[in-house]
Amino acid sequence: MGERVRYPDHEARHPWLERLLNAYQLCDEAVRADLAEQTTRRGVAIACGPGCRNCCIDQVIPVSEFEVLGLWWYASEILEGPVQEELKQRLLGYGEVGECAFLVDGRCCVYPLRPFVCRQYYVFSTPCAPGENVFDTRLNDAFCAGQSCARDLAWQLIPLYGVAEENVDWLYESGYVSRKGKHLHTLPLDNIVMHMKTATHLRKARNA
């Protein structure tokens, strides 16, 4: 079982972060179990692997508010150096479906905080060709893993919207979280750049 990533100081400062990281861990565990089962059942290996990134290009990425907040936090408070500088340039010119803004030098620069859809989408057999939508070209090779943990994820995330526990189950069943979803490329991601500057300033002040 993979270890949950931990950022104790940040989680203490941002209570939502602890729940988001718990949710990502639950999702990753469910994905791993599904992939092991599917690989055995199909007798075919997963095509996804390091360096494979066509799924980060020309795809609409649905995200909820707290997934966006996670990207925002990681990009401004954890990333640093040349990767953060490159990301700044990408965020300032962003706004179209094209290469995901967070794909820096061919790698996901926010990997520990990548959204759910980026954790759950897999392809079997052969890697996606550039521009290929596997749902159109070979539906049987596409696999959305980790669906069984959706209710557990709801229990981590729905209370973050100020919802009382007795309402979590029925709101989950009514599609509450997906109704709050947005498409990543439509969001004002350039605002993250301003927050990067504030975060750098605060970090320097804390370390002074």
Type and span of the H or E element at 41: helix 15-42
**CB nearer to ligand SF4: pick between 9 and 111:** 111
DSSP letters, 55-119, are GGBS---EE-HHHHHHHHHIIIII--HHHHHHHHHHHHT--SSSB-TTEETTEETTGGG--HHHH
Nearest approach, Cβ of residue 52 and ligand SF4 (Å) = 3
Contact 27, 151 (CB under 8 A): no
**CB nearer to ligand SF4: pick between 122 and 172:** 122
For residue 16, which of 69, 75, 78 has the smallest C-alpha distance? 69
**CB nearer to ligand SF4: pick between 10 and 119:** 119
**CB nearer to ligand SF4: pick between 30 and 55:** 55
Nearest approach, Cβ of residue 142 and ligand SF4 (Å) = 8
Query: What residues make contact with ligand SF4 under the rule CB under 6 A?
Result: 47-48, 52, 54-56, 61, 100, 102-103, 108, 110, 114-115, 118, 121, 123, 127-128
Nearest approach, Cβ of residue 208 and ligand SF4 (Å) = 33
| Alpha carbons 33 and 48: distance in angstroms, whole number | 16
Nearest approach, Cβ of residue 110 and ligand SF4 (Å) = 6
